[in-house]
Amino acid sequence: MSADKNRPPTAAPPAEASGAKVEQLGVYWSRSNWDLARSAYVADLDTDPDSPAVFAGWLVRVIEQHVARTPAARAKIADQVPESGGVRGSSRGHRVGRAVIDALEGAIVQDRLDGRTVSRSAFVIEAVHAAGEAARIRLGRPLPPPPAKLGYRPPRRRV
């Protein structure tokens, strides 16, 4: 159980409640990447008991996992992400803690010092692709189709 006895361990504590500074993280999503993110999130609700209950919490966890990788490991993941040049998409803002953005930017600087330049959006997309592959492996089959709309706290399988 988490330190807050009233919060289940699967719920990510809202940054606002913890007193952390919250900001918008803008991400440019192609339709296929947005679909992948939503599909992986839904799959994790059913296969990962530690998965956050809300999409924003899931996205923060995915970013933090990617930040924790080495620049070489992130470059290897980037090589596996399909090119989306010329593909239309849309920008979406995600409310995350300033510390998450700082960590993401620190990893981007590490990557640049290692010879690879990546934008915030590309970094997040790479993180989502790694998380999508991990979710597919846990699920043991292709990811489910993405929901048309993400509910605030969709039901999850009791693991």
Q: Supply the DSSP string of the chain, one letter for each residue.
A: --SSTTS-TTSPPPTTTTT--EEEEEEEEEHHHHHHHHHHHHHHHHH-TTS-SSHHHHHHHHHHHHHHS-HHHHHHHHHHSPP-TT--EEEEEEEEEHHHHHHHHHHHHHHHHTT----HHHHHHHHHHHHHHHHHHHHTSPPPPPPSS--SS------
Note the pLDDT of residue 13.
44
Within-domain flag for 17? no
> Do the bridges between strand 22-30 and strand 89-97 make them parallel or antiparallel, or are there none, so unpaired?
antiparallel
Note the pLDDT of residue 150.
82
Total number of domains in the chain: 1
**Residue 36's closest CA among 132, 152, 141?**
132
Within-domain flag for 144? no
Within-domain flag for 149? no
Q: Which domain holds residue 53?
A: 22-139
Within-domain flag for 50? yes
What does residue 108 show for φ and ψ, rounded to 5 degrees?
-65, -40
Within-domain flag for 97? yes
Q: Which residues of the chain register pLDDT less than 70?
A: 1-19, 85-86, 152-159
Within-domain flag for 43? yes
Note the pLDDT of residue 80.
95
Note the pLDDT of residue 17.
45
How many residues does this entry show for the chain?
Answer: 159
Within-domain flag for 158? no
Within-domain flag for 12? no
Please give the model's pTM, rounded to 2 decimal places: 0.84
